[in-house]
Every structure is written in C-alpha cells, then in structure tokens.
Structure 1
Amino acid sequence: MENSESVLSADSGLETQEIISLNKFVILSILSFCLYPFWWTYKAWRFFRDEHNLEVMPAARTLFSIIFLYSLFNKILLFAKNNGYTKSYPSSLLHAVAVIIGLLGYLPVPYFLISILGFTAFIPPFLALNFAKINDPGVTTIERTSFNTRQIVVMILGGLLWVLNLWAILAISFLG
C-alpha cells in the first residue's frame, strides 16, 4: 500500500489525512509512555500549517507544547465547530491537566506511572480534529483500520519497556 503521508489530495494539494480510532490513540499513547500525543501534536500543527498556510514550525510548537498546547486545542475546536462539531471542551483546563499530569512523572516509583494518564487531556481535541477532518470537504481522509509498521514498532518497543519498567518496580518494591 502506498504511504498515505505522501499522497496529496487532488482538490487542495493538502496531504491525505490518516484518521485513527480513539482506541488506537489510547493504545499507542499508553505503550509509548505518553509520547504518542507529542507525535499527534506535531501532526496537528503540521495539518494547520498546511491547511491554513500558517507560518508556524510544527516541530518547535510540539517541543514547546507546554506553551502552545492551549492555542492548538483552541484552533482544533474552532476548526471542528466550523465543520459542524456540536460538542465543546475547555482548552485551558485540558492544557492545565496535560501539564500537571506530565509533571507527575517526577514522582517517585511507582507513583510516576500516574503521568501515563496525560493522554486523557488530548482525547477531546483528538476526537474534534478527527470529526473536522472527516467533515471538511477540502480535506481528504482515510481511516487507518490496521496499525502501520511504525506503530507496530512503537508497540513492540513500548511493550518491552513496560515489561522492563514493571519488573524494575517489582524488584525495587521487594528489595527495598
């Protein structure tokens, strides 16, 4: 199968957008130790750069997402509402939750694992952006029904890291 990231929409010149299900987003987020939402953030910024001709650097905005996540969540909600999305979410609260839960990663073993739940702050914007992309007549989407090779690699490596981490936590717990 052709790599959809390089396929351009015939109508707009915009790349065909891959849509994954919420379940896949959650699985990839957990198995990647909450790194997948950063990849999703990068892809969202890149989409808005290309779709709206914004002069932004997606990688920099992702790297400094503690600053730019609020504006991304707002941008997604506005885009979604312009495409018929009827739900809403508080961007400032979701941004604060993402930052606070991320900081919980500095807690001692095993409490740092709470930070894995940081992806939950991304769920409403994730759903809104999927809805908007699917319902925007200028955006060509394909729904990825299976995991691609990169995602499978992330899941395998993440699964191995989870096993090692849990083993280390158990070893620390029993050895004191």
Structure 2
Amino acid sequence: MTDLLHPWEGEKRVEMPRTREELPLYDVSLTKFLLLFVFSLGLYQFYWGYRQWRCIRNAGNGVLPIVRAFFLPLFLYAQIRHTQEIFARHGHPERIAALPLAITFFLLALSIRFVPVPFDLLPFLGSALPLLLFQQRINAFHRKIAPQIPSNHLIGFRHLAIVGVGGFLLFVNYCTISEPLIRGDALSKKIHDHFLEAGFLQPEEEIIYLYADGLFSIEGRGLFFTERRLVRYLASGEKEGPRILSLPYDDIVDLSLQGAIRPTEDSILYLKTTSGYTYMFDLPVAQEIDKRFYRELRDAWVRARRMAPSTPSRSPRIDP
C-alpha cells in the first residue's frame, strides 16, 4: 500500500486507456452526478464513492471499497490523496485541496441532521459541491489521458426511475405539511386571519393546539381546540363554502382515545355528547401526535367544565 502522506510517483508509466472501462477512475459528467445526487436524496454519493474506491483498489491499494464508501465523509480525504497518486502514476501530477474539500463535505453532511425542514435542503445541496469539485478534477484528468473517450453523461431508464421516485419523495417532504401538530401561538398571523375570515375561529378565541390533516396546507382541513370548544374544519370549494363542526365543551360528556393496534393505523378520538351521539376523529400515531393532542384537549375540556356554570345542553353546531 502506498504512503497516504507521500503519493507514489512510480518510475514507469502505465498504458493509456482506450475505452471508458479502462479509465483509471470512475468517470461521470457533473450534470449527471448532480441530478442523481439530488433525486436519490444523497444516496448516489455512496455508489459514487464505491466506484471510485473500487478503482483505487484496482490500482493496487488494499482497501475495502464498500466500507470506505459507506463512511465516505470520514474517508474522502484519503480518497483524494489516493486519486492524486493515480494522477501522478499516469504522468499528470497535480495537487487537489484535499483537506478543505474533506472538511467542508464532512461538516455539511453532519449539519443536515441538525437543521430542520425545509432549511436542511441548503446543507444537503451544499454537500454536493465538494464532490462536484473533486469529480471535475477527475474528469479533466481523463480528458488529458484519453481525449477520445466521451464523458459519461447519458441518462438511462434506471436513472429516470431514480429521478421519478426521488422527485416524488422530495415533493412530499418539502411541499407538504411537515409538522401537522402545531401550538396555537406558533401559527402565523396569516393563518389566524384566514380562520377568522372563514368563520372557523371567533374573534375572542385563541387556538391552543391545531392538528392539520390536509396534505398541502394547514388551511385545507384539520382539527383544533380553544378554551371553549373543539372545531373540525374543512375548506371546500368556493361554491360549497367551508364546512365546520363545532363542539362546545359543555356539550361533551366524555372523551377518550383508542390507541392504534398497528403502527400503520391511526388512533381514534371519541367524543360523547349530551345528545347521546359519539363523534370519532382519526389521529396519527407518528411523533405521538395522538397522545399529545388528546392530553392537551382533555386538560382544556376539564378546565372549561370546572369553570362553566350549569347550562342547558345544546346540540353541536354544524355549519354548511
């Protein structure tokens, strides 16, 4: 194995490649790299790392490509230094800023775990930049030693499949509601004013917790409660108008939560009213949304029942 800190400069030159398979390193165009990196949600970097480490092993280095690729952020520095050895072995010695590229990639890859959605998209895209700069040097090296071999830029069916699946997952992750359970004081003024205008919320009320079960927006469909009542809202089309189910706390006799049997199922919130009717609402178990919503709702209901004077029962109001 060559010394990592002293690249081997070999006494004899190797034969120049004639086909892409004979290139000393993995060749891929920058556009194709970035496309597959983004739409594979970053998984392409591990395949790319494996291909590069396999070429390094074929050059006579005793490494395990799968292990090195899996821990790519830790081994990128070594990968760049081994690549420099291969450059020199083919008569094109040049220096690459191995340490800055490796540190930048490591910090950006690590920061993705600590940045909330959707801002984690910035370090995710940024982490591709050091790899792109590195691949650019590899491609330039290949054009020097084998200018007759075209760049690997073609997009095949499997690449399109990755783009399609990855594009859908990116859309779901960044264009749909990422945090469906929201504290009332965390709602924006725009949403608060929209609820007032639509009649979901009364001017003297403040939302304690809101669960949005719409796909794309909080305003579309959801369930929230105030210190006075529980409200189920649905923003229909313009002709039908919004639909509202309002359940004042003094009309609720009891409430309970039936937990989901399987992780893929929802829990069911039961509300028994003075009229004898029982309402059911689905709550997801993810992030313990069901338990958190139920616990806060029950506390608000208990407080309201203790403070409210005895009044004749009313039927729940449903606005068409």
CA RMSD between the two structures? 3.1
CA distance in structure 1 between the aligned counterparts of 2:166 and 2:173, rounded to whole angstroms: 10
Task: Give the equivalent residue in structure 2 for 1:131.
Answer: 140
CA contact (8 A) 1:26 1:119 kept: yes
Letter in 1 for 2:67: A
CA contact (8 A) 1:19 1:142 kept: no
2:112 is the counterpart of 1:105: yes
- Given candidates 52, 64, 68, the residue that maps to 1:57 is 64
- For the residue of structure 2 that corresponds to 1:110, the secondary structure is coil
Using a 3 Å threshold, how does the CA distance of structure 1 residues 22 and 167 change in structure 2: closer, same or farther? same
2:37 is the counterpart of 1:29: yes
- For the residue of structure 2 that corresponds to 1:84, the secondary structure is coil
Task: Give the equivalent residue in structure 1 for 2:74.
Answer: 67
CA contact (8 A) 1:95 1:121 kept: yes
Q: CA deviation at 1:71?
A: 0.7
Identify the structure with bigger relative contact order (alpha carbons < 8 Å, sequence gap 6+): 1
Q: CA deviation at 1:148?
A: 2.3
Letter in 1 for 2:102: H
State TM-score, norm by structure 1: 0.76
Task: Give the equivalent residue in structure 1 for 2:244.
Answer: none
Q: Kindly, what percent of the aligned residue pairs are identical? A: 22
1:12-47 Cα distance to aligned partner (Å, 9 max, x none)? 9x9445633211111111212222222111110001
- Given candidates 96, 103, 122, the residue that maps to 1:96 is 103
Q: CA deviation at 1:100?
A: 0.8
CA distance in structure 1 between the aligned counterparts of 2:143 and 2:96, rounded to whole angstroms: 19
CA distance in structure 2 between the aligned counterparts of 1:16 and 1:77, rounded to whole angstroms: 18
Using a 3 Å threshold, how does the CA distance of structure 1 residues 102 and 32 change in structure 2: closer, same or farther? same
Larger radius of gyration: 2
Q: How many residues align?
A: 163
Q: Name the structure where strand makes up a greater proportion of residues.
A: 2
The runs of at least 4 aligned residues of structure 1 exceeding 6 Å deviation read none
CA distance in structure 2 between the aligned counterparts of 1:70 and 1:19, rounded to whole angstroms: 19
Gaps (5+ residues) in structure 1? 1-10
CA distance in structure 1 between the aligned counterparts of 2:108 and 2:102, rounded to whole angstroms: 10
Task: Give the equivalent residue in structure 1 for 2:47.
Answer: 39
2:130 is the counterpart of 1:121: yes
CA distance in structure 1 between the aligned counterparts of 2:130 and 2:171, rounded to whole angstroms: 25
State TM-score, norm by structure 2: 0.44
Gaps (5+ residues) in structure 2? 1-16, 181-186, 188-216, 220-320
